[in-house]
Amino acid sequence: MSQNTQALRQAIQEKLQTAITLELSTLPPYLTAYFSICPNTNIKATEAIRSVFMEEMLHLCLAANVLVSIGGTVSFSAKTIPQYPCVLGFKGREFNIDLARFSRQSVNTFRRIELPDYMPPLDESLHEKENVSVSGYSIGEFYNSILDDLHTLHDSCISSKEALFIADASKQITETYFWRGGGKPIAVVDMDTARAALKEIIEQGEGTHISLYDNDNVEFGQTRELAHFFKFNEIYYEREYEENDDPLKPPSGKKFAVSYGEVYPLKTNCKQSDFADNEELAQLNHKFNMTYTLMLKQIEDAYAGNPHVLYNAIMNGMHDLSPIARTMAKIKIDPNDPLSETGAPSFEWVQPLEIKETKNGI
């Protein structure tokens, strides 16, 4: 392989590693807002947030499929997973992401994350050093740049009669090992499937070009869904979209209730150290973090040639996180705190050795 081809392949692998970190960085804030909502309230908002974080897991897997298909390795560690508060830096717009309760402010942050590339920024940038730096104005522009690089590398490989993609997709996640939700995992074995995988990420987040909707009804015969930005926009404006609404304008349809008062008063950006004087919360958060870290290690293992492990990661990981988080949300950190702030998971890494010794008790 020529030096230039190898350098471009490595650059694309690094971009895809960033893409995986980007997708992972959205999960804890979405989950924290979701866990904070009191049961049987804010039904429409709850359903929207849940559908989005399920699809973000799909996006992580699609990006990982592309990475593995060109010889890269999926890896998670204490140094590579996002820590909060996290500064997400797009080209020309940077902003904080917090682990925070469901509020109009948190929903606005979610809108900023999912902003389509044809829309202006929602507000001023922070101009801070980014924890996650994305070489694009939006998620869509970032993924399109990866796709452009892949086309260039693919053409170069054809000219030099070299293989870009690994034909064996046994180290990738396919529908056999996935769960139900919008979209489907795509095994990446050539340029066409790589393009389909990356376009699926873009369209679920931003919609098809200047459109409210993703393309899952056409691609997979599924129910047509609003793209992520527009789901959050409905919550923000407390109003549904009409089919022919202008994507550049707020929704004009039926109003629905959003109650930010029916939310547990979670402390923002909790750390394990915040629970030093509350043994119950300390134990619950440690258990949550062990389960979260184990889930990430299982996803890593799935992409090392054991794809069946992904099902365990979701069934025994994601499903186990919810009851722990909901229990924490009801417990005051300090009984004497006038704000009565309650606990929330910190999504911190726990050393794998510690997990190995205790995982039977998870």
Q: Is 248 among the domain residues?
A: no
Q: Is 298 among the domain residues?
A: yes
Peptide bond into 85 cis (omega under 30): yes
Q: Is the same domain home to 280 and 179?
A: no
Please identify, among 190, 218, 237, the residue that sits at the C-terminal boundary of a domain. Answer: 237
Please identify, among 189, 210, 237, the residue that sits at the C-terminal boundary of a domain. Answer: 237
CA distance linking residue 141 with residue 149, whole number of Å: 12
Task: Report how many domains make up the chain.
Answer: 2
Q: Is the same domain home to 27 and 132?
A: yes
Q: What is the pLDDT of residue 3?
A: 76
Q: Is 259 among the domain residues?
A: no
Q: What is the pLDDT of residue 251?
A: 97
Q: Is the same domain home to 199 and 283?
A: no
Q: Which two tokens stand for residue 313?
A: 């990661």
Q: Is the same domain home to 230 and 340?
A: no
Q: What is the pLDDT of residue 127?
A: 63
Please identify, among 218, 237, 256, the residue that sits at the C-terminal boundary of a domain. Answer: 237
Q: Is the same domain home to 292 and 202?
A: no
User: Does residue 64 contact residue 21 with C-beta atoms inside 8 Å?
Assistant: no
Q: Is the same domain home to 180 and 314?
A: no
Q: What is the pLDDT of residue 357?
A: 41
End-to-end CA distance of the chain: 46
Q: Is the same domain home to 291 and 233?
A: no
CA distance linking residue 115 with residue 110, whole number of Å: 9
Q: What is the pLDDT of residue 319?
A: 80
Q: Is the same domain home to 323 and 185?
A: no
CA distance linking residue 356 with residue 333, whole number of Å: 29
Q: Is 260 among the domain residues?
A: no
What's the one-letter identity of residue 207?
G
User: Does residue 258 contact residue 235 with C-beta atoms inside 8 Å?
Assistant: yes
User: Does residue 87 contact residue 95 with C-beta atoms inside 8 Å?
Assistant: yes
Model pLDDT for residues 142-178, shown as the tens digit of each residue? 999 999 999 999 999 998 888 999 989 988 988 776 6
Q: Is the same domain home to 229 and 279?
A: no
Q: What is the pLDDT of residue 361?
A: 41
Q: Which domain holds residue 46?
A: 3-237
Q: What is the pLDDT of residue 310?
A: 77
Residues of the chain with pLDDT under 70: 1, 124-130, 177-182, 206-209, 216-221, 315-316, 352-362
Q: Is the same domain home to 174 and 315?
A: no
Q: Is the same domain home to 96 and 233?
A: yes
User: Does residue 334 contact residue 274 with C-beta atoms inside 8 Å?
Assistant: no
